[in-house]
Copies of this chain bind each other. A is one copy, B any other.
């Protein structure tokens, strides 16, 4: 008996609306070829358009509407000309991450054949690692406030929150990934020399979890020099684990080092599967290029493949999901080698043309 997967499709804003259809097109092609049952439910909210009409980013019952989905396939959210970013993001994406306890943000960084690398002399194989980002706490909070507002004495406190629960589980996930599926090298991002309370504590938790994975080599790096090493020695990385903010930074910088952030996918994972996980491109809604049909859809498409891989690893899965993942990634590789390409990769193809080309290859 094959299983039906229920997937929420949410376009959001800007180029989210342009890349999501290409992702769906490729997933449909994969479903056809591998005889998968993917039922998509479309939601117009989690967008600034919705906010303009309703005064909030999502309806009050958003959680009920999404809770029994197997996954959420998400474009991008944010349109600062209409809604301040912190309002749109805290009202949607950051709620999903937190309320659906998607505590791992898994972000592969990989240099593909055929993609011009901005780093001199780097070849495919030189850059191939994962950023494992904590996704529910840390520096991303709305805790704190303003004192003496509007006066010369004005001051702002912003609080970061790190729990042992939240920190240990992301460290453990990263150690497990490094140990069981990668080259057993884990870089731990820190800033314990400047951020005097949370970061030394974070380092201590990394030491504690390390005790369970003695075969993994651990390399602690302060975030400043770590960003420098992404550029100077990208081949030294295998798995990189980082707090919410540091992971955010590293997972834009890493993909930039592979040529474009238009390729980078992500899985906002709830490994316990108590709530749906969310798959989205790392890039945002990109107001500067939205509406022109030139956005690179590959990050969205690759995120769809990651979604299938996650579904394939769950309880009672459909094994063909794993095959479909591989077929999509192979199609992305082929199209990156031979074209067509969007402008971020030096090409002139449209979003739709790239989506069509990948879908055609997935169909076989």
- Footprint of B on A, CB under 8 Å? 78, 84-86, 88-90, 94, 116-121, 139-146, 151-165, 191-201, 222-225, 227-229, 231-232, 244-245, 248-249, 251-253, 255-257, 260-261, 284
Contact = CB atoms under 8 A, between A and B. Distances in A.
Number of chain copies forming the complex: 2
Given A120-B121, A224-B251, 7 more contacts: A140-B196, A152-B164, A153-B165, A157-B197, A158-B198, A191-B245, A194-B244
Given A163-B154, A224-B248, A224-B252, A86 B144 contact: no
Contacts of A146: 197, 201
A53 to B, nearest CB: 22
A282 to B, nearest CB: 9
Contacts of A260: 232
A140 B140 CA distance: 16
Q: Which 8 A-B pairs have the closest CB atoms?
A: A228-B256, A158-B198, A85-B193, A142-B196, A224-B252, A154-B164, A227-B253, A155-B163
A256 B244 contact: no
A144 B198 contact: yes
A199 B197 CA distance: 21
A249 B224 contact: yes
B228 A197 contact: no
Nearest to A153: B164
Given A120-B117, A145-B197, A154-B164, A232 B245 contact: no
Contacts of A86: 192-194, 196, 199-200
Nearest to A255: B228
Nearest to A282: B224
Contacts of A116: 120
Contacts of A121: 120
